[in-house]
Amino acid sequence: MDDERMARMPGHAKLLSGLVVAVALLLHVVAQAGMYLAVPGFSLSRFRDYFAHDQLGYLAIVKNFSEGQFASFEPDTETGANTYPRVYYEAIGFVARVTGWDPIVAWNVCGMAVQLVLVGLLAAVLIGLSRRWWLGLIAPVPFMLGTFSRLTVTGWYTPLESHAVIWGPFGVLHTLNGETVSLSIASICLLLLGLLWLRPAGRWMRLISTTLICLVLGGLANVQTYSFIAAIYLLAFGLAAWTIFRGRHIVLAVLSVLLIPVVFLAGPTVAEVGGQLPTLVFGLLPAVPGVLALIVRSRGTVAIYCVAVVLGASPQVVGTVVGLVTGDPFLAYRVASNTELGVPLQTGLVSGLALIVPILLILVAAIRRRRPLWGGYALGAGLAWIMLANNDIWGANAEPYRLYMDVFFLIAATILPIGVLVLTDLWRSTAPEAALTAVADSSADSRPRRTVPRWSVIVGALLVVGVATLSLSDWWVFYRSEVARALMVTDSPRDNALTELAQQSAAANPGTLVMVDSCIDPRVLKVTSGVPVAYYHLGMAWPTEHDALGTVISARLGGGLDRDAALQGKATQVLTDSACTDDWDTRYADILTEQASLPYVNEDGSSGTITLWALE
């Protein structure tokens, strides 16, 4: 809806639109977090116990930053170096530091706030495009779409090889981690770009605003790598396809198609010679002809936007490249560990049906009605999705299943406005005045746009709605599951005793790590106490004494204590729980000296004593 039309909108209509947006926000909160209302003791200070291993590692960064630990080190031990994208975690750590909030509260509030901005913007866009207030109510629906896992594997997600899984946007959003925030911001940027370029706007307004949006898009590389890659692929392929559609560039179209097998054939060689990052850039090759044509058509303006993206991404990219060049062992491990994470063709097609069906219908409508925007969106989204979901085949090997889900999310967040444009146009083309519209269109496009039968529009709309509705069964299963509503208690009397003794140890023995028995979770101890612990998250960063601490962790998981490895890793402070069957106080009495102890009694009646020891 343009500004002039907005200005003419009656006051009550504006108020109604505002209320609809507010209702859409409430519906999103209920859809994504309403399951917690039935959980006793729910509060914003409870952490979601949902695939929590990685999340606790991220939360450790938040905790460190909230306590003024700003160095780029491995977050658990506070040693070594960390090249992991972490700007968002540092940002909410800063929020916790300024507000005095617990890091878990900052995590929950900030994560949901970004989602609500996206849903509110989408609701406003839908109302503006359709001029129907009720359409804003469906803004939360794209984030509830499923992958038909309920019908294929009787659950809410589809397991693949290794640890890979596929689930809908609701499964992505539930963690409230950097990926969810990065995908939400990327979707906001894409929607804003659409508003900026599909409505009347001044030249300088567009130039400055687009540059800033592209800078933010690039900056997402410092938040979460895969969502940044997904957004760039979606934008690059979409713009390239739009340029080719608009100009009817047959030669460019043929060249782009021929470059797809080039990527699949030459990609593994590029990966072998240059590594993962150059290969991911190489994967954009089929979009290059269209993007170059767009740069020429814009007289170089689009190149400014490309530079803005590169500048925004440069801190993370430069840091990663430097680490790879200098032989960072963690980065080498990270690349090598991405195996058996691909998406089988049949699984990808079935899981993506809720979006594949409308994408295909939009593409058919674009060809029928000669609409470059629709065609560019549908073809660009489809190609980006296919390329990234199969990146293990053409050499990049960058967790294809994750990128599959990230592109799924971005398409789900942006397809509704395109769908509204398509449906509105097709419906009007079946009306009696369609002939006049066709004549008016022919003056600009040299040929009248062909109309479509009204019945086909109805059938297409019902098919899209039916498939999407069927996919929602995944969300419903998830919503009712124990996995979705599980909350982690981190402030029990036992946790408080552990935290107090760990902080006492850190204050008296700076530079040492706290080691724990197998009944104490070092990940939770880190985020409650903030002290360096003898643990690290394998896929995030490695501590200085990586090998020694790896031995300490392995021994602990087996119920034992490796004294030599602990001393080498400076893990000389030990916490034990008397309720634990490890029985370290008697098994290792000759090498442990008691420093302090605290008894605890939990609400469930369980009790014991936490003891702090010094390793001799």
What is the mean pLDDT of the segment spanning 261-288? 93
Which residues pair with residue 516 across a beta bridge? 575
CA distance 211 to 298: 14
Weakest-pLDDT range from 120-124, 318-322, 480-484: 318-322
Nearest to 213 by CA among 190, 232, 236, 197: 190
CA 32, 34, 40, 41 torsion: positive or negative? Answer: positive
What is the mean pLDDT of the segment spanning 501-518? 95
> What tens digit of pLDDT does each residue of 435-476 get?
444 444 433 444 556 677 888 899 999 999 999 999 999 999
What is the mean pLDDT of the segment spanning 291-310? 95
Query: In Å, how far are 51, 179, 404, 439 from 172, measured between CA atoms?
Result: 11, 8, 12, 47
Nearest to 319 by CA among 309, 308, 331: 331
The one-letter code for the residue type at 286 is P
- What local confidence, expressed as pLDDT, does residue 451 receive? 73
Residue 334 in this model has a pLDDT that exceeds 80? no
Average pLDDT, the chain: 91
Q: Which residues contact 297 (CB under 8 A, 6 or more apart)?
A: 243, 247
CA distance 486 to 40: 11
- What local confidence, expressed as pLDDT, does residue 453 receive? 85
For the chain, what is the radius of gyration of the CA atoms?
27
Q: Which residues contact 99 (CB under 8 A, 6 or more apart)?
A: 106
Nearest to 110 by CA among 172, 171, 46, 180: 180
Number of separate helices (H) and strands (E) present in the chain: 27, 8
The pair of three-digit structure tokens given for residue 226, joined into one six-digit string: 């895969």
**Residue pointed to by tokens 């204590």:** 561
The pair of three-digit structure tokens given for residue 540, joined into one six-digit string: 């995030």
Q: Averaging pLDDT over each range in 117-126, 422-431, 439-448, which range is the top one?
A: 117-126
DSSP 74: B
What is the mean pLDDT of the segment spanning 163-173? 93
- What local confidence, expressed as pLDDT, does residue 199 receive? 84
CA distance 516 to 571: 10
Residue 347 in this model has a pLDDT that exceeds 60? yes
Residue 382 in this model has a pLDDT that exceeds 60? yes
CB 480 within 8 A of CB 35: yes
- What local confidence, expressed as pLDDT, does residue 326 receive? 77
514-516 and 573-577 strand pairing = parallel
The pair of three-digit structure tokens given for residue 529, joined into one six-digit string: 């106490």
Which residues pair with residue 596 across a beta bridge? 612
The one-letter code for the residue type at 439 is V
Residue 523 in this model has a pLDDT that exceeds 60? yes
Nearest to 1 by CA among 137, 138, 198, 208: 198
Give the H/E segment covering residue 189: helix 178-198
DSSP 422: H
> What tens digit of pLDDT does each residue of 273-282 get?
888 889 999 9
Please spell the DSSP secondary structure of 419-487, one letter per residue.
Answer: HHHHHHHHHHHTSTTHHHHHHHHHHHHSSPPPP--HHHHHHHHHHHHHHHHHHHHHHHHHHTSHHHH-E
CB 582 within 8 A of CB 482: no
CB 240 within 8 A of CB 289: yes
Q: Which residues contact 301 (CB under 8 A, 6 or more apart)?
A: 207, 295
- What local confidence, expressed as pLDDT, does residue 438 receive? 45
CB 582 within 8 A of CB 608: no
CA 260, 265, 268, 273 torsion: positive or negative? Answer: negative
> What tens digit of pLDDT does each residue of 44-72 get?
999 999 999 999 999 999 999 999 999 99
Reported as a pLDDT band with limits 50, 70 and 90, residue 10 is low
Reported as a pLDDT band with limits 50, 70 and 90, residue 131 is confident
Whole-prediction pTM value? 0.93
Provide the residue count of the chain.
616
Residue 329 in this model has a pLDDT that exceeds 90? no
Nearest to 214 by CA among 124, 292, 304: 304
- What local confidence, expressed as pLDDT, does residue 380 receive? 97
